[in-house]
Structure formats: C-alpha cells, structure tokens
C-alpha cells in the first residue's frame, strides 16, 4: 500500500491571516467580549480552538450576517474570512461595536471589482446560494445577480454592460458551463474568474493524480472548497473519494486492500489534522492494524 501526500495542502494564506487576526484580537482585549460573526472558516476544529481563546461565535444557517448582528450587543465583532457587505459594516458601526475585519484578501479584491463595475453595468456572480461569501458579495449592489447553474442564466432579466465573476472557492470544472451559458446569453460580457489560487492549485493537484484507488479529503463537510476536491475526484478517474473531518472519520473499509491512497485537504483544515491522517495511514500500510487514536491532533497553526 502506498500513501501519497498531495501538495499543496494545509491552510491558505487567507485562513492563516484570519486565524492570526482572531488570536491577536482575543489577546489584545482581555476581559472584553469578542464575537465572531459566523464561523471564522468552515472547519469545526478551528472554531473550537478559537472558542478556547475566549471568542464567542454567532452562527445560524437560516440567518444572514445582517440578521446575526442583532445577537451582538457590545464589544468587538470579527468579520470572518468570507467577507461581509457594506450594510453589515454600517450596522455594526451603528450598534457601537468595534469591528475587526478578517476578510480574505482575495474576497476583498472581488468586492472591489464588483463595486467598481456596478457603477457602470450589471454583474453576474457565479456562487453557491446561502454561502456567506456569496451573501456578502451579492449584497454589495442591486446590480449583482447570483447564478449557480446554467439554467439560472436564462431566467435573468435583460442586463447592460455585463461582467461575470465567481465565488473564490468553486470548482474550476463546475464554473465553466455556467460561464459559457453567460456568454451565450450575453456575448459581449467580460469574464473575471475569481477562483483563488489556493483553491485552483489544490484542484489541479488532484486532477493530476494517476492510478489512485482512493482519495481521502480531510475537511469539514461545510467547507465548500473541501467538498469540491471530493467532487473533482469523480471526474478525473479516481475510483473512490471520501471526505472526513479528521482521522476519527476513517473506516477500514475505505482503505482495505487498496494499493494507492492519496490524501489532500481543504484550505481551512489545520495541517496537524491532515498530518495525523497521513501518519495513521502510513502506519496501517506497514502493520495492517486499524486502531484509531483516542484524540484528534488539533493545532491552529
């Protein structure tokens, strides 16, 4: 049995930045309430580690970031790596909260692009519905139109001076048919594919794998970029793919009698957790003994 560690893996720079901001905020304001508006990133282990630093989280899949602000009455609010709309920033100021921005620089760049273009035209945003990154971007202007699949494009109203852009964590495979549908409907549209380099590099690394029996993706099931890695595996000849949040998610039937097992991770997965999975699989390949550890090795950085 051969274990292949796919490179790159571990945190992207946007996640490293967000975690660093959260840690510094908690350390610099002892005794003050610090609340994260949503999950800092989509990984439960990162959230738990931040909670141990004294950071409170408000999260409800049924509520927007604007609505979640109603649950914060004082202190410091941290905006997550996914970004927020200008309305959220204004409401936080009106409530007298001290805002700390941990938005990923790639998302901020998309926001700047969107706001500049919407002064002169309409923008089609390819993103996942009810995802915080999409929510923050679509809320920037009434001229932003969210689409998730090709059929959505045909239901759009007539638009002027169209630009097309994307959520940063989508699959490079999945966006192409949607982009093409946009160009079929609006042939003169400008296309700005904003899938971030960290997401793109991880997806391309999976697509380059050869003769792999199983791909193990280490990531939270709420992490869009982790889910996309699992999905891509099925389109590039990998026989099986599993998404697990830690070594405790492994089952022997996933790996029994497999010759080549590859391991990758989402960009919000702590590297310590992925390394523990690789170490376990390496030991299993040597001994054939499937005895899971009692604890997950969770370190923020």
So which residues are the catalytic ones? 133
Cα-based distances in Å from 162 to 28, 176, 192: 45, 17, 11
Per the CB < 8 A criterion, the answer to whether 131 and 173 are in contact is: no
Our CA angle for 190, 108, 120, nearest 5°, is 40
As a whole number of angstroms, the distance between CA 225 and CA 235 comes to 16
Tokens 């139109």 sit on residue: 145
Tokens 């599993």 sit on residue: 242
Tokens 């999260």 sit on residue: 59
**DSSP secondary structure of 65-120:** HHHHGGG--SSEEEE-TT---HHHHHHHHHTT-EEEE---HHHHHHHHHHHHHHTT
Who contacts 289 (Cβ-Cβ below 8 Å, separation ≥6)?
283
Question: Roughly what angle, to the nearest 10 degrees, separates helices 44-52 and 13-28?
Answer: 20
């Amino acid at each position: 049995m051969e274990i292949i560690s796919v490179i790159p893996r571990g945190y992207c720079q946007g996640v490293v930045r967000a975690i660093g901001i959260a840690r510094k905020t908690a350390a610099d304001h002892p005794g003050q309430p610090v609340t994260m508006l949503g999950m800092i990133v989509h990984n439960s282990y990162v959230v738990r580690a931040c909670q141990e630093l004294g950071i409170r989280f408000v999260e409800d899949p049924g509520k927007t970031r604007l609505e979640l602000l109603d649950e914060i009455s004082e202190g410091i609010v941290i905006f997550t790596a996914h970004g927020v709309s200008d309305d959220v920033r204004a409401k936080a100021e009106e409530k007298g909260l001290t805002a700390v921005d941990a938005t990923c620089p790639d998302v901020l760049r998309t926001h700047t692009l969107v706001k500049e273009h919407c002064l002169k035209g309409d923008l089609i945003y390819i993103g996942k519905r009810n995802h915080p990154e999409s929510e923050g971007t679509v809320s920037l202007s009434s001229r932003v139109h969210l689409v998730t699949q090709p059929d959505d494009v045909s239901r759009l109203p007539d638009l002027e001076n169209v630009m097309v852009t994307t959520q940063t964590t989508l699959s490079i495979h999945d966006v192409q048919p949607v982009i093409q549908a946009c160009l079929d409907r609006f042939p003169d549209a400008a296309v700005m594919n904003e899938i971030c380099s960290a997401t793109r590099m991880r997806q391309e690394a999976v697509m380059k794998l050869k003769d792999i029996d199983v791909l193990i993706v280490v990531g939270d099931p709420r992490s869009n970029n982790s889910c996309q890695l699992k999905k891509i595996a099925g389109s590039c000849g990998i026989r099986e793919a599993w998404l697990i949040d830690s070594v405790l998610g492994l089952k022997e039937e996933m790996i029994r009698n497999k010759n080549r097992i590859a391991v990758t991770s989402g960009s919000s997965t702590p590297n310590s957790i992925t390394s523990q999975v690789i170490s376990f699989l390496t030991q299993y390949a040597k001994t054939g003994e499937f005895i899971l550890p009692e604890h997950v090795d969770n370190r923020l950085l």
